[in-house]
Amino acid sequence: MKTFENLLPKLVIAPGFVLGFAFIYGFMIWNGVLSVTGSRMLPNYDEFVGLEQYVRLWDMDRWYVALKNLGIFSTLYVGGSLVLGMVLAIFLDQKVRAEGFLRTVYLYPMALSFIVTGTAWKWILNPSLGLEKLMHDMGWASFSFDWLVQSETAIYCVVIAGIWQSAGFAMALFLAGLRGIDDSIIKAAQIDGASLPRIYWRIILPILRPVMFSTILVLSHLSIKSFDLVMALTNGGPGYATDVPATFMFVMSFNRGQIGLGAASATMMLATVAALVVPYLYSELRAKPHDR
C-alpha cells in the first residue's frame, strides 16, 4: 500500500510527461532530423546531406529579408505597443467617467484574430480603396500614403496593424498594474513637492517593471509567430518584401516541395528562441533556491 502511495504521483504525471515529450521535443528532434536530409516533396530519411540545407538557407537573399523583417517588426511592434499601451493606461487612470466603456473600446482589437486585422488593414492601407482615396475624395488631392505597395515600407504597415491590435492588451496589463499601486506612496511624493510627470517617471514606472516584463514576454512571442497577420495583410509581398521566417518556412516546406530547407529554417527559428529563452530560464532556476 505504501509503495502504491509513493507511486501514485509518478503514475499521474507520467502520461502528461510522455505526451509532452513526444509532441514537443519529439517533433523538434524530427524537424532537426529532416533538416539534415535531402527531403523535397515528402520526407526522405535515406538521403543524408549533412549541413547542406543550412548552407543553402544562408545563401538565400530571401532568408535575409525574412530575418531583417523579423527584427524590424519585433522591435517596433513590441516597443510601439508598450509605449502606446502605457500612454493609454495613464490617461485612463485619471478617474474619467465611462472608464469601463473606454476600456472595452481600447481592448476590442485584441478580440479579433490577426486574420481579420490583416484583412481590414489591407483595405484601409490600399491606396485606391482606403485612407488615400478617402482623403482624395474629401478634397485633399496631394495626400499620399502608399506604404503598403512599396517594397521598402510595406513591413511598417504590418507593424501599424500589429500595434493597433495589441496596444489595448498592453494597456489592460498596465492599467491593472497602475491600480495595484498604493495611493499613499503617490501622496507622500506629492507632499514632498514632486510634479506629476516626475512622479510617473521616477516612482510609478519603476514599480511597473514586472508588468512591463510580462507584457514584453507575451508580445515578443506574438511577434516571432506573426504568420497570420503577414499572410492576411501582404501575403509576404510585394515580391517577398514582407516575408518573415514563419512565412518563409511555410512557403518552402509546403508550396515549393523543399521540406529539408523548410526544416532548416525552422531549426534556425528554434535556435533563435532558445538563445533568448535559455539564459532567462537559467537565471530563473538559479535564483529560486536563493529566494527560499
Partner 1 sequence: MLKLSQLATAVALVVAGNAAFAGEVEVLHWWTAGGEAKSVGELKTIMQGKGHTWKDFAVAGGGGDNAMTVLKSRVVSGNPPAAAQIKGPALQEWAAEGVLANLDATAKAEKWDELLPKGVADIMKYKGNYIAAPVNVHRVNWMWANKAVLDKAGVKGTPKTWDEFFSAADKVKKAGLIAVAHGGQNWQDFTTFESVVLGVGGAKFYSDALIKLDQKALTSATMTKSLETFRKIKGYTDAAAPGRDWNLATAMVIQEKAAFQFMGDWAKGEFAAAGKVPGKDYICAAAPGTDKAYTFNVDSFAMFKLKDAAAQKAQADLAASIMGTQFQEVFNLNKGSIPVRLNMDMSKFDDCAKLSAKDFVATSKTGALLPSIAHGMAVKPAAEGAIKDAVSQFWNDDKISIADGVKNIAKAAATK
Contact 35, 266 (CB under 8 A): yes
Stretch that binds partner 1, among 66-74, 105-113, 253-261, 265-273 (CB under 8 A): 253-261
The interface mask with partner 1, positions 87-126, x = CB under 8 A, is -----------------------------------x---x
At residue 212, φ and ψ (nearest 5 deg) are -60, -40
Among 40, 103, 221, 225, binds partner 1 (CB under 8 A): 40
Task: DSSP letter for 37, please.
Answer: B
Nearer to partner 1, 41 or 277 (CB): 41
Residue whose cell numbers read 513590441? 78
What residues contact 40, with CB distance under 8 A and at least 6 apart? 257, 258, 259, 260
Residue whose cell numbers read 501599424? 160
At residue 37, φ and ψ (nearest 5 deg) are -105, 165
Tell the smallest beta-carbon distance from residue 34 to partner 1 (Å): 11
Stretch that binds partner 1, among 108-116, 206-214, 235-243, 281-289 (CB under 8 A): 235-243
Tell the smallest beta-carbon distance from residue 243 to partner 1 (Å): 9
30 binds partner 1 (CB under 8 A): yes
Q: How far apart are CA 219 and CA 73, in angstroms?
A: 11
| Amino acid residing at 62 | R
- Site for partner 1, rule CB under 8 A: 30, 40-43, 45, 61-62, 122, 126-129, 146, 148-149, 151-152, 234-235, 237-241, 251-252, 254-258
